[in-house]
Structure 1
Amino acid sequence: MDQEKSEEFYGRLREQLAESSKWPSNYLYKFIVPTDTQKIKQIQDIFDNTGAVIESKQSKNAKYTSLSITVNLKNPDEVIQKYKEVGEVKGVISL
């Protein structure tokens, strides 16, 4: 995603989160990651010390792992910051 589209996307997301939730609030992230312990650990480290609950499940052929991460965050900006951090990990799909 190019920088301009990315900022536009995050701007809309910030508005939607501000309108749809009272903050602080629990937020559920869902990611699909190639089954690679290094990549999964990178994502887990991003949410380390946040009190996040992380559930993982491998696909039938074990090629991919889905991560569901529930964490209590203060505001929409924190939600977006975590998306940007996870976006740095190669091959991750955010749902």
Structure 2
Amino acid sequence: MDKKTEEFYTRLRKELNSTSTWPSEYLYKFIVPTDIKKVEEVENAFDNMGAVIKTKQSKTGKYTSLSVNVMMESPEMVVEKYIDLSNIEGIISL
């Protein structure tokens, strides 16, 4: 992981610690190229977690946005999930 990414996750952890009481509901937002396998990879990452997942294709159909509302135990778990999903080719975390 590069230094810039590491600094981002450090700031995110601090912000989540100071703005929420844990466990807490967290809203992830991702954009992936429209490919059923990529969409399923994101959905599967939240399998058995009670997540509410909404998907929406872009007007051109090239991209799919995913909103994932899920209860997380700690800021560390939130960051770990971002890191786990970062290996999906073309994913953008918002």
Q: What TM-score do the two structures reach when normalised by structure 2?
A: 0.96
Q: Percent identity?
A: 53
**Secondary structure, counterpart of 1:68 in structure 2:** strand
Match of 1:20 in 2: 19
Amino acid paired to 2:30: F
Does 1:67 pair with 2:66? Answer: yes
Q: Please name the residue that 1:53 is paired with.
A: 52
Note the C-alpha offset of 1:48: 0.5
| Residue 41 of structure 1 pairs with residue 12 of structure 2 | no
Who is 1:8 aligned against? 7
Tell me the TM-score normalised to structure 1 length: 0.95
Alpha-carbon RMSD: 0.8
Where do 5+ consecutive residues of structure 2 fail to align?
none
- What is the CA–CA distance in structure 1 between the aligned matches of 2:93 and 2:27, rounded to whole Å? 11
| Superposition deviation, residue 11 in structure 1 | 0.7
Deviations 1:1-58 (A, max 9, x none): x522221111110000000001110000000110000001111111001111000000
Runs of 5+ in structure 1 lacking a partner? none
Alpha-carbon distance between aligned partners in 2 of 1:38 and 1:29, rounded to the nearest angstrom = 19
Letter in 2 for 1:71: V
Deviations along 1:44-78, one digit per CA (max 9) or x if unpaired, are 11100111100000011111100000000011001
Residue of structure 1 equivalent to 2:86: 87
